[in-house]
Amino acid sequence: MICELREKEIQEFDATNILPQTPFWGRVKENQGFTPKGFELTISKDLLVSDASSIEKKGEDLLILIKYVNQNQCFAYVPYGPKLEPNFENQGLFLEQLSESIKPHLPPNCIFIRYDLIWENQWSTEKEYFDDNGNWIGPPPNQTQEFRVNFSTANWNLHKSVGDNLPKNTFFLDLTLDEEDLLYNMRYNTRYNVRKAHKKGIQVREYGIEHMADWYKLYLETANRHGIPAQNEEFFSTIFKNQDNNKKGVTVKMLMAEKEGDFLSSMFLVLSKKRGTYLYGASSTDKNNLTASYALQWESMKISKAWGCTEYDMFGSAPNLNRSHPLHGVHIYKKGFGGDLYHRMGCWDYPFNQKLYDLYKLQEMQN
């Protein structure tokens, strides 16, 4: 079982549904202080399928981001990668071999590599991790997770990260369905609000970067309302400016829901190959903003479908219906559109320098 890496220009990557593994994402993150590196990864097919021959090979592009934590130390981060998903029993072995293959291509002062895995969470397929109402209760403690993932490895060196960076739970909608079926799959209240918005005269239109200030005003209202730290306006302008704006790359659409000239709700729809992603959303404190947000999502789905997308990613939710979860309200809202809830493995670390890694992890736990 072999992992082979060849350095590759990020702009030469093939199109992919996985937004954080695109050249676009690399450019955005470079503006945010990361150093992107591109690779072509080739692995033995028997890492993916147990009955395959080790002679058969499978390849993919891999984006890695280097982040310096100080002048002398850095770590490597793989956002939603690798894309190739092994059998559960081979996941640890795959990550171990990949980490050792990547190590020579990283700065010598790299402390560890962190994988933000998109792979289906191993414990989300087991009945004992669901309650009597069918809600997933989440994975077992980290020690139990690490024991299973490391079981077939040589070094037992994979560690569950302190936290997760990109959303670990999300809803996916099947855009191969026709519009009537998409509406039918929604919960009654969601479908009612979509139609109510139309009757109220709420319009959804696409705007260019010249309306970024209008977006940002809504965003600040949302951040203040929910008590979350706000990004600056340039953060969103960077996302807009770095798009490819063609079907071979990534296209960003800033959609605004309005009524009689007043902007009520807005979002960034990002189109990458066959997937539409609801990346960021914002709304005003106006009493009509809730209905407007339903119109916005519905229009976004229709735009994605017309673009040729086969799936729509809500990009983040709670793992279940637990009312104490900070994303409970978001979960209820997104669940209403009728998608399937998907649970990812989240962030996993492979240290190259155990002592420095332990110190970094301690700092993360204190933040």
What does the alpha-carbon distance between residue 367 and residue 363 come to, in Å, rounded to a whole number? 6
What does the alpha-carbon distance between residue 45 and residue 37 come to, in Å, rounded to a whole number? 24
Which pLDDT value is given to residue 53? 47
Which pLDDT value is given to residue 206? 96
Nearest to 4 by CA among 37, 39, 38, 36: 39
- The pairing of beta strand 275-283 with beta strand 262-272: antiparallel
Same domain, 212 and 88: no
Is residue 300 included in any domain, yes or no? Answer: yes
Is residue 320 included in any domain, yes or no? Answer: no
Is residue 117 included in any domain, yes or no? Answer: yes
CB 356 within 8 Å of CB 73: yes
Residues in the chain where the model's pLDDT stays below 50: 52-55
Same domain, 142 and 68: yes
Read off the DSSP letter of residue 32: T
Which pLDDT value is given to residue 136? 93
Structural domain of 104: 3-167+345-366
Same domain, 255 and 280: yes
Same domain, 7 and 66: yes
Is residue 83 included in any domain, yes or no? Answer: yes
Same domain, 292 and 196: yes
Nearest to 119 by CA among 150, 97, 94: 94
Helix (H) or strand (E) holding 79: strand 74-79
Which pLDDT value is given to residue 4? 86
Number of structural domains the chain divides into: 2
Is residue 35 included in any domain, yes or no? Answer: yes
Same domain, 128 and 22: yes
User: Residue 280 sits in a domain of what CATH number?
Assistant: 3.40.630.30
**288, 309, 330 — which closes off a domain?**
309
Same domain, 231 and 359: no
Same domain, 70 and 182: no
Same domain, 125 and 185: no
Give the CA distances from residue 256 to residues 12, 29, 38, 283, 345, in Å, rounded to whole numbers and listed in that order.
Answer: 33, 25, 35, 9, 33
Same domain, 163 and 206: no
Give first-to-last CA distance, the chain, whole Å: 39
Is residue 325 included in any domain, yes or no? Answer: no
Which pLDDT value is given to residue 147? 97
What does the alpha-carbon distance between residue 171 and residue 190 come to, in Å, rounded to a whole number? 15
Nearest to 312 by CA among 345, 348, 267, 259: 267
What does the alpha-carbon distance between residue 195 and residue 145 come to, in Å, rounded to a whole number? 45
Is residue 322 included in any domain, yes or no? Answer: no
- CA 217-333-171 angle, 5° bins: 105
Is residue 291 included in any domain, yes or no? Answer: yes
Same domain, 254 and 154: no
What does the alpha-carbon distance between residue 37 and residue 61 come to, in Å, rounded to a whole number? 11
Same domain, 293 and 223: yes
